[in-house]
Amino acid sequence: MDVQIRQMRNGLVVVSEVMPHLRSVSIGVWVRSGSRFEDETTTGISHFIEHLLFKGTTSRSAAQIAEAIDSVGGQLNAFTEKEYVGFYAKALDEHLPFAFELLSDIVLNPTFPTVEMIRERNVIFEEINMVEDSPQELIQDIYMENFWKGHPLGRPISGTKESVARIARKDVMRYFRDHYTANNTIISAAGNLRHRQVYELAKRYFSNLESGVQVDPGIPPVASPGRVVRRKPNLEQTHICLGTVSPPLASEERFCAHLLANILGGGMSSRLFQNIREKRGLVYSIFSGLNLYRDAGALVVYAGMAPENASAVVELTLKEFRKLRDKLVPAEELKRVKENIKGSIMLSLESSSSRMTHLAQQQIYFGRCYPLEEILGKVDRVRARDIRHLANRIFDSSSLTLTSLGSKNGRDLESVAMSL
């Protein structure tokens, strides 16, 4: 890894990686402005601002922004997460200065036109409607909202229709001023570039950005285990999320947690997929995943099935939890899962855009960039007894939470849930 990290005088961090075998470059502007930093009166404002930054600057209209990136055959996009917002551009290496200027114009010079706020608010309403119409997405939101009840990490990133409707232009201006500052911003770049060129471009466009104060993530969330049933008419399937706490992203135990989640439901050879789908045919989709943040984490199993099979699926999932607590993972299975994770990591970092994202996330959470060999080594060093120890700690009845979504009233799950 040919990586360089430099900090500008105003506090903004620039991190870049040279990948000379590519013809592309990817640049990202990352801001600590995710939904975690919102209060109840501004829920959804980070996501709203992300949309609005593409609606015009002091020198470009929304149409001109789109025309600019298309004129060089590049890509331009953005996304909002719970602990950061990312804006990125990808183009041929020869267009790095152009892409950098365009991205900086979007992030530094928005005008937040009132007419565009009205239109984009309606777009976000439709985005919220899409989630409501997608039970697999909706149940994840319901689960997290109840698991971390009352904490910003539990709220949906898009907010609610009620909260987004309350956001006024003055709220947007104030939130943008407080969060889009140098101390909350990281510029990352990867591809066929030169470190010095990236740093000089960052200085040219971002030197005048106010230093500001780094935002406070607040206190960690406290899990609220329990059982939540939401009835939604006209659904053919019952959807469930069954989960528990997990080591946070900043913990060294995250490598163990990834292996545990992969063994449980990480792919077609995972225990849940083989025992519940392949052997019994009770589900089409079942998997486990991790939601990790700087000081909190959740391991969640999702499954969708016919309502009459819901109790059996929950019972079988609990059985797999108990097996992970009681028995060591066999050596061959552990080796296979380690190779799966290591292969996934390496394959996911083959493009300039994925490397750019990796650099930024490492800087946000660790203030450094882990060499790939160090990450793979930490995966290799996880032992079977480490996994069993973690399973005994997190698969505890006091931590488990069950959420169901379907057309039935969910009472058939109550007796199963009581065994948690």
Tokens 């406290």 belong to 222
The structure tokens listed for 111 are 């005008």
3-state secondary structure of 360: helix
Of the residues 50, 83, 116, 120, which is catalytic?
Answer: 50
What's this model's pTM, rounded to 2 decimal places? 0.93
**Whether residue 239 sits in one domain with residue 190:** no
Task: Decide which of 174, 206, 238 is a domain's last residue.
Answer: 206
Task: Decide which of 206, 240, 273 is a domain's last residue.
Answer: 206
**Whether residue 187 sits in one domain with residue 56:** yes
Tell me how far apart the alpha carbons of residues 287 and 265 are, in angstroms, rounded to a whole number: 4
**Whether residue 239 sits in one domain with residue 185:** no
Crossing angle (nearest 10°) for helices 331-348 and 254-265: 110
**Whether residue 240 sits in one domain with residue 194:** no
**Whether residue 184 sits in one domain with residue 35:** yes
Tell me how far apart the alpha carbons of residues 341 and 261 are, in angstroms, rounded to a whole number: 11
Tell me how far apart the alpha carbons of residues 44 and 164 are, in angstroms, rounded to a whole number: 6
Contact 223, 401 (CB under 8 A): yes
**Whether residue 263 sits in one domain with residue 115:** no
b/e sequence 116-154, b meaning 16+ C-beta within 10 Å: bbeebbeebeeebeebeeebeebbbbbbbbbbbeebbbb
* CATH code of 375's domain: 3.30.830.10
pLDDT, mean of each 10-residue run, the chain (420 residues): 94 97 97 94 95 96 96 96 97 97 97 95 96 95 95 96 96 96 98 97 97 94 90 91 96 97 95 97 96 97 95 95 97 97 93 96 94 95 98 91 84 59
The structure tokens listed for 80 are 């909002």
Residue 162 CB coordination number (10 Å): 9
**Whether residue 238 sits in one domain with residue 120:** no
- pLDDT given at position 229: 86
**Whether residue 255 sits in one domain with residue 143:** no
The structure tokens listed for 342 are 């290591």
Tokens 């040219």 belong to 204
Length of the chain: 420
**Whether residue 104 sits in one domain with residue 163:** yes
**Whether residue 239 sits in one domain with residue 186:** no
Task: Note whether residue 218 is domain-resident.
Answer: no
Task: Note whether residue 211 is domain-resident.
Answer: no
- pLDDT given at position 416: 63
Backbone dihedral angles phi then psi of residue 231, each to the nearest 5 degrees:
-90, 130
**Domain of 66, in residue numbers:** 3-206
**Whether residue 340 sits in one domain with residue 194:** no
Task: Note whether residue 108 is domain-resident.
Answer: yes
Task: Decide which of 206, 236, 261 is a domain's last residue.
Answer: 206
Number of domains in the chain: 2
> What's the number of CA atoms in the CB half-sphere (13 Å) around residue 370?
17
Among this protein's residues, is 50 annotated catalytic?
A: yes
**Whether residue 196 sits in one domain with residue 262:** no
